[in-house]
Amino acid sequence: MSFVECPDTRRSRARSVAATLKQVAASPRLLVYISCALLALVTSYRLGKDMQWDTLDYHLYAGFSAIHDRFGLDYFAAAPQAYLNPYPYAPFYLLVNSGLSALGVAEVLALLQSAILWLTYELAIALGPLKSARGRVAVGACAALLAFVNPVLMEQFGSSFADITTAELVLAGVLILVRAIRTPDAWRIASAGLLLGAATALKLTNSLAAMSLAVMPLFLPLRWHKRWGCTALYGLSAGLGFVLVSLPWSIQLERHFGNPLFPFLNGIFRSPEYTTAAVVDYRFIPTSFARALWRPFAMAAPVRMIHFELPAPDLRYALLVVLGVLLVAARWVSRASDGRESAHSAAPEGRALAALGCAFLINWVIWLKLFGNSRYFIPMACVAAVLVMALVCRLLQAWPRVLTCVIAAILLTQIHQVDAGAEFRPLYPWDGEPWFDVRVPAAVASRPALYFSVDVQSNSFVVPYLPAGSGFINVEGDYVLAADGVNRARVRELIRRFSPHLRVLVLDSRVDAERDSDVPHLDDVNDAVEPFGLKVDSGTCSRIVTRAAPKPKQEIVTVGRAQPRLPASAWYTRYLVTCRLVADTAPQEVLASRDPAKNLVLDRLEDACPTLFQPRRTATYITGGDVRDYFWVRRYSNTDVVAWVHHGKVGFEKLIGQGRYRVMNAGSELAWERSPLQVACSRGIDSDFLRVLPPGQQH
């Protein structure tokens, strides 16, 4: 037997490989994939470097903590977000740490994120009702383009957000389920469940898609007992995928907090280190049933705070409503005229379309009830593009020219809406340098220490650049750490471990921040660390300078103080002041967060208007400088509100929305202390929040 290949065999194999490569190069799929990748790369480049709130607040830190065990060193380093599953952010941290320029990092991320458009194309091909291969390719390409022209999706290309990458797992599961309906296969059902379970473990908001897609196996062309069996298989596979992916992180959370999903579902697991109230972001949830019904049409307008913080007009959902009504009407007319069901609905494509449409509708209802934020709807937003194209084709496939014109009109209208009305992240130019340029003074970099961050913005992005072995605590972030109980005990343990190497970290947003080295609002900083027996040694301050890390105005959340007005150029370098902390040996005249009268007033305010002040019974903190000028403050992260007691009056402020809405007099402190007041209150963008009723209406 000879192991030497004859020349003819080698030539034949070479010709076969060449023919295969030529076929691949001529494939429409390859052209679509390359076009999608180019769209993502160009969009990322044009939008500039992503330096938004979440990137600085927890994205880099999460990736860092996925690689390095931070449980023994940090405590709420990025507020509750420090304990989200960090693995989706590990690629961002590894790329940033690889030595690539910021542009190189963004383009790698954008290339990975472009796969969501590839999956949209494949899903449209699988659902396309057109018979010709060319027609299916054209519809698939148009669906991918319509999915791309989504301001919320475009915003994230080349960014550190994990919404797109985890959404790709969801779309892959959807694609497998659609193919399973066309060709039933238990392995496909199980594979889809595993993917959706993994997507949920990596980002819990994907659980909505996983739950709603459970309806799809019920559309399999099988007997009903087999359909229910496949649904059970899907559920078991999703559960298995969730457990396998979440287990490493959940074990850590269970060990340290007694809650494997900390901080979520704490009403069930009841960890004493976090509120047991439900964690719900009401920012975009409709305040009435009528508003919920109008939401698909409201999203088409270039208005901020409808389904996203920035204006992000999206026509697809209004189109789906209109097309759905037209299709139902057309089917009704067709059945009335010939007395039988259309052949389209009995075809595998029709069955798959009905299944996906049903899952989409379920997902929409749950999403609108729980979130309303389009960042958490990205996978189904891509499905919406596919459904729009599929419905248009079914309605107009008998009139090919009309179909072409309608699809072109839809695409051009959506492109015009986005071009004319959408706003994107702040444009920070590419400078050929790393993503983060953090310069830590030599005196600070020489020794690990425990850092106390006292801003709402945690600035935890600096943690990877601090001396190895340093710890980090965000005491007044989205979740204010209580000055007593388990929170205090945990902080005191870290203080004991790191003493005397303790430091504070404060964002300096002053106009002359580059010249000064003192602590801005020193009294407020001392108020934040005083409950833990510390105070600032103002003679030991240094500055950590971070180039190309802006300090947007919305980050500076103040109580009773105006935001500074700075020129645009002054927002592009972030100055962080760090000073030593020493033991506070002076006797305290009052521990304001424990003041029973002030806490009673705030408790009664919460009870009078529970729709506005959520979650209730958050920790009280103080700011203002001295006892005579203290604000007693509570922050309500669910509703983006702070409330306070100051100078005998009760007030509150909405921090995010259609403008800052401040009520400086929600009744007097004395009146609230005597007895609960009756109020009229509501939660909404354009309605009054709280009004104390006149004495005649008090009862």
**DSSP class of 346:** H
Look at residue 664 in the predicted model and tell me its pLDDT: 65
For residue 532, the one-letter residue type is F
Tell me the one-letter amino acid at 179: R
Contact status, residue 542 vs residue 444, Cβ threshold 8 Å: yes
What per-residue confidence (pLDDT) applies to 556?
A: 39
For residue 453, give the amino acid letter: S
Look up tokens 């959706």; give the residue. 196
pLDDT score, position 559: 44
Q: Is residue 513 a contact partner of residue 460, using CB atoms and an 8 Å limit?
A: no
Q: Coil, strand, or helix at residue 679? A: strand
Beta carbons of 106 and 50 less than 8 angstroms apart: yes
Cα 82–chain centre separation: 13
What b/e readout covers 637-661, taking b as 16+ CB neighbours within 10 angstroms? bbbbbbbbbbeebbbbbbbebeeee
Domain ranges of the chain: 29-421, 444-472+504-581, 592-697
Q: How far apart are CA 93 and CA 468, in angstroms?
A: 16
Q: Which residues pair with 649 in a beta bridge?
A: 646, 668
* Partners of 392 in beta bridges: none
CA angle, 450 then 454 then 459, to 5°: 80
Q: How far apart are CA 293 and CA 296, in angstroms?
A: 7
pLDDT value of position 579: 93
For residue 676, the 8-state DSSP code is P
Give the angle 561-562-564 at the CA atoms, nearest 5°. 125
- The Cα-based distances of 583 to 14, 475, 503 in angstroms read 77, 17, 11
pLDDT of residue 136: 87
Q: Give the distance, in angstroms, between the CA of residue 571 and the centroid of all CA atoms in the same chain.
A: 24
Please provide the DSSP assignment of 570-639 as one string: GGSEEEEEEEEEEE--SPPS--GGG-HHHHHHHHHHHHH-TTTS-SSSPPPEEESSSGGG-EEEEEETTT
Answer yes or no: are the C-beta atoms of 638 and 283 closer than 8 Å. no
Cα separation, 627 vs 632, whole angstroms: 10
SS3 547: strand
Q: Are 396 and 406 in contact (CB under 8 A)?
A: yes
What is the spatial distance between Cα 559 and Cα 46, in angstroms, rounded to a whole number? 36
* Mean pLDDT per 10-residue section of the chain, whose length is 699 residues: 56 60 70 95 93 92 96 94 96 95 96 97 87 86 96 95 96 96 92 97 96 95 92 97 96 95 93 90 90 95 91 95 89 68 59 93 96 95 96 89 93 94 86 89 92 92 95 91 89 94 89 74 88 90 85 45 54 86 70 74 92 89 74 89 89 71 76 89 68 71
H/E segment holding residue 561: none
Q: How far apart are CA 319 and CA 296, in angstroms?
A: 9
Chain position carrying tokens 């999206």:
314
CB 526 within 8 A of CB 554: no
Q: How far apart are CA 276 and CA 258, in angstroms?
A: 13
Residue 697 is predicted with a pLDDT of 64
The residue type of 8 is D
Query: Which residue in 45, 575, 194, 117 sits closest to 386, CA to CA?
Result: 117
CB 96 within 8 A of CB 108: no
Helix (H) or strand (E) holding 51: none
- Helix (DSSP H) and strand (DSSP E) numbers for the chain: 25, 15
Closest CA to 59 of 506, 380, 461: 461
Residue 470, burial from CB neighbour count under 10 angstroms (0-12, 13-18, 19+): buried
